[in-house]
Amino acid sequence: MTVSSSGLTASLSPIVDLLRSRTTCVLTGAGISTESGIPDYRGPERAGRPATPITLKEFLTSAEARRRYWARSAIGWPWMESKRPNPGHDVVASLERSGICHGLITQNVDGLHRDAGSRAVVELHGALRSVVCLDCTKTESRYSLQERILVQNPGWMQHAGDVAPDGDVHLDAGITASFRVPACLHCGGTIKPDVVFFGESVPAARVERAFSMLAQAEALLVLGSSLTVYSGYRFVVAAVKQEKPVMIVNDGPTRADAQATAKVEARLGDALAYLGSTLDLV
CATH number at residue 115: 3.40.50.1220
Residue 272: pLDDT band (50, 70, 90) is very high
Q: Report pLDDT for 53.
A: 78
What is the maximum span of the chain, computed from C-alpha positions, in angstroms? Answer: 60
Residue 165: pLDDT band (50, 70, 90) is low
Residue 49 belongs to what domain range?
5-278
* % of residues, the chain, pLDDT over 70: 92
Of the candidates 152, 161, 156, 212, the residue with the CA atom closest to the CA atom of residue 185: 152
Residues 6 or more apart whose CB falls under 8 angstroms from that of 85 comprise: 36, 112, 113, 115, 116
Active-site residue, 125 included:
yes
- Supply the pTM of this predicted model: 0.91
Instruction: Count the domains in the chain.
Output: 1
Query: Catalytic: which of 89, 113, 125, 159?
Result: 125
Q: What are phi and psi of 128, to 5 degrees?
A: -70, -15
Burial of 172 by CB count in 10 Å (0-12 exposed, 13-18 middle, 19+ buried)? exposed
Please give the average per-residue pLDDT across 6-28, as a whole number: 93
